[in-house]
C-alpha cells in the first residue's frame, strides 16, 4: 500500500472512529448524575480518552 493510500485510509478510519466516539460519549452522558463535579470529571476524561485509540492509527498512517 502506498503512502498516500495509507494516509487516506487512516484519515477515514479516524473520522469514522471520532463520529462513533462523539455519539457514544453524548449518549452515555445522559446517565451521569446532575452533580457538576461528576459532569466535569466525565467530560474531562472523555475529552482526553479519544487520543488513546487514535494514536496507533496515526502512527500506522505515517509509516513509510
Q: pTM score, two decimals? A: 0.83
Domain boundaries, the chain: 3-62
Instruction: Give CA–CA dist 17/23, Å, rounded.
Output: 10
Tens of pLDDT, residues 1-31: 888 899 999 999 999 999 999 999 999 999 9
pLDDT for 63 equals: 83
Alpha-carbon gap, residue 28 to 54, rounded angstroms: 20
Hunting for cell 498512517 — which residue is that?
61
CA distances from 50 to 29, 60, 63, 64 (A): 15, 17, 21, 25
The residue with cell 446532575 is 34
- pLDDT over threshold 70, residue 64: no
Instruction: Calculate the average pLDDT of the chain.
Output: 93
CA dist., res. 64 & res. 56, Å (int) = 14
Amino acid at each position: 500500500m502506498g503512502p498516500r493510500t495509507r494516509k487516506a485510509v487512516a484519515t477515514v478510519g479516524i473520522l469514522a472512529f471520532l463520529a462513533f466516539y462523539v455519539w457514544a460519549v453524548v449518549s452515555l452522558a445522559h446517565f451521569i448524575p446532575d452533580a457538576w463535579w461528576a459532569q466535569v470529571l466525565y467530560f474531562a476524561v472523555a475529552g482526553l480518552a479519544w487520543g488513546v485509540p487514535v494514536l496507533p492509527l496515526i502512527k500506522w498512517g505515517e509509516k513509510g
